Amino acid sequence: MLFRPAPRAKTHNKTFRLTAVLTAVALAVGPVTTARAQQKGPPVLRDTESEQLLREYTRPILRAAGLEKQNIQIVIINDGAFNAFVADGRRIFVNYGALLQSETPNQIIGVLAHETGHLAGGHLAKMRERLAQAQTQMIIAMLLGAGAMAAGARGGAGNGLSSAGAAAISAPQSMVMRTLLSYQRAQEENADRAGVKFLTATGQSPKGMYETFKRFSDEGLFAARGADPYLQSHPMPVDRVAALEGLARSSPYWDKKDDPALQLRHDMMRAKISGFMERQDTVYRRYPLSNNSLPARYARAITTYLHGDLRSAIAQIDGLIQVQPNNPYFYELRGQALLEGGRPAEAIAPLRKAVQLSGNSPLIEMLLGQALVASDNKGLTDEAISILRAAVAREPEAPIGFTQLAMAYGRKGDYAQADLASAQAAYLRGDTKTARDLASRAKTRFAIGTPGWVKADDIVSAKPMPGQKNN
């Protein structure tokens, strides 16, 4: 199940600030210049099929980097641009655009290897230390510059000392910025080398990594023409690609190809993302009716159901199931299409099958719980609660699970648990005020000191999650 976002708002340009170097150690050739935080819809996309494949891509890389026990997560971001980055020490963020545009598993594995290089090198923590030092230097420079301007004003020196004071402020700022950018360029080069090292250690080709950066280089040559190399957060494209090519070609696995079965799974992931995230006409241009491959049929089935032709979509999905009768994600798609098409009772059987074949994926369990709740069969309420409780225990940051759990408890008349689950869903969505209001009401319904009361009290007193506002 891919949780789809709302339509996105237009982006706008933003100026580069000194603190921008802390936002992410990014993959892209140049600094990001659009404010994607203004986009509507959830910033994170969830899909069991895609996440499972990315975990398999990343597992050997993390093992080679000595990070296999660190519980590193791969998070898919709702952004169509090709980019990936690390913003803390435990997650690699990948735009869905990077998955869609990577033609081979090796290409996106190379991206993940590069980002793992940042994690293994502790680059973000080191950049924070550098930034703290830089901020101290900036403060001192500003104080000295302000003192010089004040002295000029007191001494009647006119514009001379005032100009000198202004220069005393601006010159160190420029020097500090250049120093930070130089350090970040060095981190990017180190991540490139580490990525190639991890790929070689795991018997994988670094060719895909080179191909990705070569494409970035070709696309960025015009933009980089005439640019000051000392004011870039990443190495200049030509220099970077040349250095990477030398490293990559020295690998004994340079010519190693991706396994055909893995390539098919990769193509299926790309088709799924296209079907859910791209316009229907774009999907049909990418996967025309003349293309009878399994990925093409997958993408067309998805876009067919999304655009309201449920009967045709179900027929197409059934055709997919005939080809791969043990593929859990085809049953998941069938159930999702029926559920969103207003036929929840019919969605239950394929979703049960999807849960079974997927090894009890919690996201698919949430979808099954939603179908059970929406079926209007009160006899299924206890089963829905049991399934949803198990799902949110393993996926505690998915608000849809708590939302459906609240509905199930409400149907049963357990309003204390319904309020608590609703509060948890609101908190995860970032609506702190609503979460606290619901949790406060839940506290009045629970006996003091019971587990439900304690959880509700935790929400009432909790601070907003990172990135949330304290409403």
pLDDT, tens digit, 9 for 90 and up, residues 332-346 = 999 999 999 999 999
Cα–Cα dist 305/288, whole Å: 17
Mean predicted lDDT score pLDDT of the chain? 81
Determine the pLDDT at residue 138.
56
Around Cβ 187, how many Cβ atoms within 10 Å? 23
Is residue 299 over pLDDT 60? yes
Using 50, 70 and 90 to split pLDDT, how confident is the model at 124? low
Residue-level pLDDT at 11: 33
Select the more confidently predicted residue: 39 or 469: 469
**Domain chopping of the chain, boundaries:** 1-261
Is the pLDDT confidence value at 189 over 80? yes
Whole-angstrom distance, CA of residue 454 vs CA of residue 334: 40
Per-residue pLDDT, 468: 55
Give me the torsion for CA of 146, 147, 152, 153, rounded to 10°.
Answer: 70
Q: Do 392 and 411 contact (CB within 8 A), yes or no?
A: no
b/e per residue, 88-123, with b = 16+ CB within 10 A?
eeebbbbbbbbbbbbebbbbbbbbbbbbbbbbbbeb
Q: How far apart are CA 235 and CA 229, in angstroms?
A: 7
Identify the band that residue 462 occupies on the pLDDT scale cut at 50, 70 and 90: confident
Q: What pLDDT is recorded for position 240?
A: 77
Q: What strands lie across the sheet with 84-86, from one edge to the other? A: 25-26, 84-86, 91-95, 73-77, 44-45
Average pLDDT over residues 95-113: 96
If you average pLDDT over residues 116-141, what whole number do you get?
Answer: 66
3-state secondary structure of 464: coil
Note the pLDDT tens digit of each residue in 282-295.
Answer: 999 999 999 999 99
Those residues whose C-beta lies under 8 Å from the C-beta of residue 259, and which sit 6 or more positions away, are: none
Helices 381-394 and 362-374: angle between axes, nearest 10 degrees? 160
